[in-house]
Structure 1
Amino acid sequence: MKYFLLLLTTLFLFTGCDEDAKTVIKDSPSFNELKEKKNEDIYNLVTTQGKKISLEYSKDILTSKDLNGKIILINFFATWCPPCKEELPVFAKLTEKYPNDFEVVSILFKDEISKSDLEVFMKKYKMNFPVTVGGDNERLAKDINNIQKIPESYLFTKDGVLIDKFIGPVNEQALENLIIKLKDQK
């Protein structure tokens, strides 16, 4: 009797785990929706240097293999925007002052500037940080906060948690105080 139950149990286990069961799970709408949703949270950005930066953003959490371990400021700007021009030297100064702890990614938003003019602009404003010009710039702007006006900046901890947002030009002292506070947190 024991052998019969053991054989029956073994037979039941093997017939319950066939390829058809995997197919049903894989093809179920919920599996496909989750897979699609995961892809919607990934933003592939392209810098002026042609480097790709991949960000994953969902529910105020930012992750990136390209920017690990630093406080990240995502800045939406345009070259024609006076307040944007005002804050760019602040970002350059702070990225130089805290190179191991702080990174800015500036996202060109609603700006049709030529590549050569953008390079001149970047030199003029000492932009020593990545500037993205292609990829998912517009989609990220929409998804992060339906951005309509610039400049707008979002500060994330080293763990990728949104800690602050700035609408309008960033105040240098306020930003630096946040960097100092966050840089030694584990």
Structure 2
Amino acid sequence: MKNVLVSLFAVLAFLFIGCDGGSTIDSKSLAKKKIEEDNKEFISQSFLLLTTDEKIIGFKSTANGLDFDEFKGKKAVIIDVFATWCPPCIEAIPKLREIKEKYKDDLEIVSVLFQDEKTVEEIQEFIKEYQINYPITMGEENDKLAQELNVRKIPEMFLFSKDGKFVHKFIGNAPKEELEKYIKIAIEN
């Protein structure tokens, strides 16, 4: 009986914590400031994420968040860093689908495939199977973005306002109510 309880606790801890290694939230969680030795100024990074349907989502990091080419001033953006092998990532998909539909005029969700070697065809099948209604990006730029965001555990989601300012970071499978609370803030500001 004791072994069953220990096993159950371990499974529940895994589901509530998320996948991958340990992570802490700190000032480097978003748009890490890369410091030059001499002048100590922020250095912006540019990103061109490629979706499974061969569209480009372009943006650059700023000292306060991400400056999206296509969405700036129009939509708040969630960057969802996930993997197909991660149970909490899979569990979050129905919630993200609902949120995308509910806030379709004011919110974009961009899922960033992280440390998951899949072909475009495999991800397209994954999109179809889970009825995903938001873009998924693949490729080397995903790793570059994950480093910039200091991703250590998945799922991790980063919410940005319509003007690209960082609003909130979610680690693990965040409750829908919490997501919506911050989404409303991102849309209104």
Question: Structure 2 length normalisation: TM-score?
Answer: 0.73
Unaligned runs of 5+ in 2: 1-35
TM alignment of 1:55-70, pairs within 5 A: 55-68=59-72, 69-70=74-75
1:92 aligns with 2:97: yes
The one of 109, 132, 146 equivalent to 2:137 is: 132
Shift of 1:97: 0.7
Amino acid at match of 1:42: S
Q: 1:181 to 1:47 in 2, by over 3 A?
A: same
The structure richer in helix per residue is 1
- 2:82 matched residue in structure 1: 77
Unaligned runs of 5+ in 1: 1-29
TM alignment of 1:147-186, pairs within 5 A: 147-185=151-189
* 2:160–2:186 CA contact under 8 A, matched in 1: no
TM alignment of 1:29-48, pairs within 5 A: 37-38=43-44, 41-48=45-52
Runs of 4+ in 1 over 6 A off after TM superposition: none
Distance 2:56 2:140 in 1: 9
Higher relative contact order (CA 8 A, sep 6+): 2
Question: Structure 1 length normalisation: TM-score?
Answer: 0.74
Amino acid at match of 1:140: L
For residues 24-44 of structure 1, what are the alpha-carbon distances to aligned partners after superposition, in whole Å with 9 as ceiling and x for unaligned? Answer: xxxxxx9xx9xxx44xx1011
Question: Relative to structure 2, which stretch is displaced further, 60-69 or 87-96?
Answer: 60-69
- 1:27 matched residue in structure 2: none
- 2:22 matched residue in structure 1: none
Larger gyration radius, structure 1 or structure 2: 1
- RMSD of aligned alpha carbons: 2.0
Q: How many pairs does the alignment contain? A: 149
Identity of aligned pairs, percent? Answer: 38
* 1:151–1:169 CA contact under 8 A, matched in 2: yes
Amino acid at match of 1:100: D
Distance 2:47 2:65 in 1: 13
Amino acid at match of 1:49: D
For residues 144-185 of structure 1, what are the alpha-carbon distances to aligned partners after superposition, in whole Å with 9 as ceiling and x for unaligned? Answer: 12x122111101111111111011112111111222333233
